[in-house]
Amino acid sequence: MTSLQTILRGGLVALALLSGPSMAGLFNDADKNWTEGEWTLPAAPNETALREFFVSSVSPNKFMIDESSISVGQDSVVRYVLMVRTPAGGRNVTFEGIRCATAQWRIYATGRDSGEWSPARGSQWQPINDTAYSRTRAALAQDYFCDGPVPPRDRDEVLQRLRNPGSGNTSTTHGGT
């Protein structure tokens, strides 16, 4: 190994060691004293208020948000009712939240056919990863709710983004998943 290769290798190792901690803090919560605000379970989804949104060209499912359920809390969490319909007619209904500051999501409850809610067991904040499992939340966060770590100002801003995709959201992207 030449001395130039040794220097380059040492430089790369130093760069990796120094950049790791700074990258890890990219989506860490700047507010270490943040606490989640109070929330209440919404009414059962209103079929006339369902707004379809794009998640992936690969999925045959339809993804919809109940517009009447959307809120932006004092804690900066965007809460909403999500309905996913399969081509066979099955549906999954959840009441969820997205926290832009930390790129996390949480399920509060699942909907039953009777219109009642069943609280989610062991519900915790989870990272939003653009994988098949959390692609829906990634689409909501990236394309409709968040400007990076910044949440929308209010419910009206979320509604505008859902009704006019690409308007007012600087991070709008439709990934190829």
Per-residue model confidence as pLDDT tens digits over 48-73: 999 999 998 888 999 999 999 999 99
For the four alpha carbons of 170, 78, 159 and 157, in that order, the dihedral sign comes to negative
| C-alpha 67: how far from chain center | 16
Biggest CA–CA distance in the chain, Å, is 72
Judged against a pLDDT cut of 60, whether residue 4 lies above it is answered with no
Question: Considering the chain, what is the average pLDDT of its residues?
Answer: 81
In this prediction the pTM is 0.76
